[in-house]
Amino acid sequence: TTNVTKVYVKYGGFPRLVTLFDALESASTSDAILKLHAGDVFSGTLFFSLFTGYADMQLMSPMCFHAMGIGNHEFDLGNAPLEEFLYNLTEATTSQCEAPTKILAANIVPPVDTTLESLLLPYMIQEYDNDQKVAIIGLTTNLTKSMSSPNAGTTFNDEVTVLTETVAALEAEGINKIIAMTHTGYDFDTAAISTVAGVDAIVGSHSHSLLGDLEELGPLGIPKGSFPSMVNGVCIVQAWSNGHV
């Protein structure tokens, strides 16, 4: 046919993401930048099938994420590959970045005296100019037990209960800027996470939700909502899936 239209889309990938963040940090006059990965590094490509996380770690580490959450797919092969991946990521970012990537999972209780227990934190606090403190709390869907293959003795507590308790503890310390980094899905984030008093923003994942203006997104797909989505006064964002956007 002669009726052909060429379509070009600026389309994802870690090299592009690293370049964009480097440009953002170079151009910014503020240090108030957070780089967060909300989970599901594992599974989905031949890179993972061949290297069980090592290739993914090498792609992620130059990004120098401040924090990473845990997705349900991180447990697809049990706890051991996840422990190795997180240890390697922590070691790589310790040497390459200003600070190692923190691994956040407030509602996961791993078996005691394991590598996983030593690596997981419920939250981190990032300090900015004028003594401003921002807390980031990591949450993983408590359906992981049935969706994946965590080792026996790995517990996933109720997300809203844990978040409510953690926010209260942080506010008692005078911290009033709180981000929930969730691997629970857009619908759960809007319906449940956004109702927790004290949460200001949600950086979500799990549901692979494309958010944004359809005119800007073009042929990428039908957006689930606006970017950001404002629900109960909480700013909710999600970046689709697989580093596409």
Averaged pLDDT, 52-71: 95
Percent above pLDDT 70 for the chain? 98
- Give the pLDDT confidence score for residue 167 in this predicted structure: 98
Residue-wise pLDDT tens digits, 188-219: 999 999 999 999 999 999 999 999 987 777 77
With cut-offs at 50, 70 and 90, classify the pLDDT of residue 1.
low
- CA atoms of 169 and 166, how far apart (whole Å): 5
Percent above pLDDT 90 for the chain? 76
- Give the pLDDT confidence score for residue 213 in this predicted structure: 86
Residue-wise pLDDT tens digits, 80-89: 999 999 999 9
Could you please report the per-residue DSSP string of the chain? -------------HHHHHHHHHHHHHH-S------EE-S--SSSSHHHHHHTTHHHHHHHGGG--SEEE--GGGGTT-HHHHHHHHHHHHHHHHHHSSSPPEEE-TTEEPPTTSHHHHHEESEEEEEEGGGEEEEEEEEE-TTHHHHS-PPTT-EE--HHHHHHHHHHHHHHTT---EEEEEES-HHHHHHTGGGSTT--EEEE-SS---BS-HHHHGGG---SB-SSEEETTEEEEE--STT--
Count of C-beta atoms within a 10 Å radius of residue 189: 28
Averaged pLDDT, 101-121: 97
- Give the pLDDT confidence score for residue 8 in this predicted structure: 73
- Give the pLDDT confidence score for residue 5 in this predicted structure: 84
Residue-wise pLDDT tens digits, 132-142: 999 999 999 99
